[in-house]
């Protein structure tokens, strides 16, 4: 019960890493709101965990404001925000990625962090505490060819995490990030271009521990960084990558 009494929001919580984080947070005693653009996925995760589902488009300011208002009303406040929602573009030479795909990647992966901060930080400052966790990627630490603009968006998230951490520390708010390697999530096929045994073997050969990240791996790291056990840790961008970035 390491999060007993805590109130958390997990964006993109309807599948993949987000679902793993919701499941672990709920098991550790937190009240959790599952925010996802796919409400049906959010509802299923909520039913399985006792969480509360909300339809949210994290790239839209009015949707994010509604999320914060409804989550606050439901839980009586917010202590933890996990910015997990994210997308990628298909692997392609940088000059061939469409402007539409570029805009969507930066809206979901970057603008969302600004929108959730704008909507939530005033309340966290008022209560003098809070933890924000941004889910970035090893792509933002050690970029791979043909995912250039996705790489850049995740590098932005890491820089934003550090900038937020140093500014919000005097208010008692901690901000950290996780950098997972690709995992068994709905985005895996997009990262690889195609999900075949050959592509999986090629990708796994770059990970010293020899396996993909799992939702459980990310949930364990998220639990630590969002718990009071990490109350002296802020501005950290933790790699959960099996050694991928060494």
* Mean pLDDT estimate for the chain: 95
Which of 148, 33, 34 has the alpha carbon at shortest distance from 91?
148
Q: Who contacts 126 (Cβ-Cβ below 8 Å, separation ≥6)?
A: none
Where is pLDDT greater, at 20 or 188? 20
Please write the tens of the pLDDT for every residue from 171-199: 999 999 999 998 776 667 666 667 778 87
Among the residues of 79-178, which ranges form H helices?
Answer: 99-106, 112-127, 148-168
**Helices (H), strands (E): how many in the chain?**
9, 7
Bridge-partner residues for 10, per DSSP? 34, 82
pTM: 0.94
Whole-number pLDDT of residue 206:
87
Please write the tens of the pLDDT for every residue from 148-173: 999 999 999 999 999 999 999 999 99
172: left (phi over 0), alpha (psi -120 to 50) or beta: left
Least confident of 106-110, 151-155, 174-178, 201-205: 201-205
Whole-number pLDDT of residue 85:
97
Is 158 strand, coil or helix? helix
Q: Is residue 144 predicted with pLDDT exceeding 90?
A: no
Is 25 strand, coil or helix? helix
Q: 99, 47 in Cβ contact below 8 A?
A: no
Q: Give the integer Cα–Cα distance in Å for 180 and 17.
A: 9
Q: Is residue 81 predicted with pLDDT exceeding 90?
A: yes
Whole-number pLDDT of residue 187:
66
Q: Give the integer Cα–Cα distance in Å for 42 and 21.
A: 13
Whole-number pLDDT of residue 203:
79
Please write the tens of the pLDDT for every residue from 130-142: 999 999 999 999 9
Q: Which two tokens stand for residue 194?
A: 């195609």
Tell me the domain boundaries of the chain. 7-240
Bridge-partner residues for 9, per DSSP? 33, 81
Q: Which of 23, 81, 148, 150 is catalytic?
A: 150
Whole-number pLDDT of residue 190:
64
Q: Give the integer Cα–Cα distance in Å for 31 and 220.
A: 17
Whole-number pLDDT of residue 184:
72
Which of 212, 216, 152 has the alpha carbon at shortest distance from 182?
212
Instruction: Indicate the CATH number for domain 7-240.
Output: 3.40.50.720
Q: Which two tokens stand for residue 83?
A: 């910015």
Does the active-site annotation cover 39?
no
């Amino acid at each position: 019960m390491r999060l007993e009494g805590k109130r958390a929001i997990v964006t993109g919580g309807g599948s993949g890493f987000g679902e793993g984080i919701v499941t672990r947070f709920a098991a550790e005693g937190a009240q959790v709101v599952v925010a996802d653009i796919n409400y049906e996925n959010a509802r299923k995760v909520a039913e399985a965990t006792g969480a509360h589902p909300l339809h949210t488009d994290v790239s839209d300011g009015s949707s994010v404001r509604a999320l914060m208002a409804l989550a606050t009303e439901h839980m009586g406040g917010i202590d933890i925000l996990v910015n997990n929602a994210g997308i990628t573009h298909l692997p392609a030479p940088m000059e061939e990625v469409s402007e539409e795909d570029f805009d969507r990647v930066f809206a979901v992966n970057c603008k969302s962090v600004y929108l959730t901060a704008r909507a939530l930080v005033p309340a966290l400052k008022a209560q003098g505490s809070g933890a924000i966790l941004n889910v970035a990627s090893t792509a933002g630490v050690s970029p791979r060819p043909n995912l250039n603009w996705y790489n850049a968006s995740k590098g932005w998230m890491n820089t934003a995490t550090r900038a937020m951490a140093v500014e919000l520390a005097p208010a008692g708010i901690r901000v950290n990030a996780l950098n997972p390697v690709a995992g068994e999530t709905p985005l895996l096929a997009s990262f690889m271009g195609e999900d075949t045994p050959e592509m999986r073997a090629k990708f796994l050969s770059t990970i010293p521990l020899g396996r993909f990240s799992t939702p459980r791996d990310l949930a364990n790291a998220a639990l630590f960084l969002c718990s009071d056990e990490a109350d002296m840790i802020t501005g950290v961008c933790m790699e959960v990558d099996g050694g991928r970035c060494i």
